[in-house]
Amino acid sequence: MTTHVLGDTGVLTARSLRHILRSPDTIMTTAVTPIAMMLLFVYVFGGAITTGSDESYVNYLLPGILLITIASGVAYTAYRLFLDMQGGIFERFQSMPIARSSVLWGHVLTSLAANMASVGIVIGVALIMGFRTGASVAAWLAVAGILILFTLSMTWIAVIAGLSAKTVDGASAFSYPLIFLPFISSAFVPTATMPAPVAWFAENQPVTSIVNTLRALLAQEPVGSDIWTALAWLVGLLVLAYAFAIATYRRRIS
């Protein structure tokens, strides 16, 4: 049974990846907006922003930009899933001996691959802009693990949006709050510089702990309790989003 599910997931993931490879502009488009933000904040606003540390602003900014890159990219998953639903692809799959969960996992794994490619492009541009890190291999693996968890949790939320949307615009609109959330966090400025009510929200929303953890890992600094807060948020969101997505999927195809 497990081999059957894995095989079906592999086939459907390859199908979705072929669509991405035929249209690589999807990955480039996902990376363009975060890169534009990074250029704007580093070269226009960066000189007026005080972070309270000696590190360059691009080093401070990059973790938040990576999360925005992923939040932008998962919108395409909702979009592609919505088109599959409207095009009758799911009904066609139901008539075939294919594991039901593999249909969704094909989209999710494609999102993971595409978003990691976009993240790689953004990091490449950041290096050109002066980003430097002495992080160890273990620290980079931890960064990659956190970004993968973030991508999976956001993608399963995108699956819910794609299955529930009534229009194409509605399928991708869910990503706007996700893209906006890093702006009310420690991604661009220290939360201590914010008014008290805003600072309280920024300190207690998930993006801040994730950004702080990524920043500490790349700066070779102690991560403290932020990593456990970040992991609790990510795993909790992933479990809830997965359960709700599967329930929504079963309701739609029943």
pLDDT in tens, the chain (254 residues): 445 566 666 666 776 667 666 666 666 677 888 999 999 988 887 777 777 677 888 999 999 999 999 998 888 888 888 877 776 665 565 555 565 667 788 888 888 988 998 999 999 999 999 999 989 999 999 999 999 999 999 999 998 888 887 887 777 777 788 888 999 999 999 988 899 999 999 999 999 999 999 999 999 999 889 999 999 999 999 999 999 998 888 887 66
Residue-range domain boundaries for the chain: 2-253
φ, ψ of residue 187 in degrees (nearest 5): -65, -40
**CB 146, CB 214: distance < 8 Å:** yes
- Looking at residue 241, its pLDDT comes to 94
CA–CA gap between residue 109 and residue 70 (Å, rounded)? 13
How crowded is residue 4: how many other Cβ atoms within 10 Å of its Cβ? 12
| Burial annotation 18-55 (CB, 10 A radius, 16+ → b, else e) | eebeeeeebbeebbbebbebbeebbeeebeeeebeeeb
> What are the angstrom distances between the C-alpha of 238 and each of 127, 154, 223?
31, 8, 22
d(Cα 213, Cα 143) in Å, to the nearest integer? 8
Q: Retrieve residue 67's tokens.
A: 């999360």
Q: How far apart are CA 46 and CA 40, in angstroms?
A: 8
Whole-number Å distance between alpha carbons of 59 and 61: 6
Taking the C-alpha atoms of residue 80 and residue 13, their distance in angstroms, rounded to an integer, is 13
pLDDT value, residue 20: 67
| pLDDT for position 1 | 45
pLDDT at position 79: 82
Please give the structure tokens belonging to residue 32: 């363009």
**Among candidates 84, 17, 75, which has minimal Cα distance to 253?**
84
pTM exceeding 0.85: yes
Tokens of 59: 């080093």
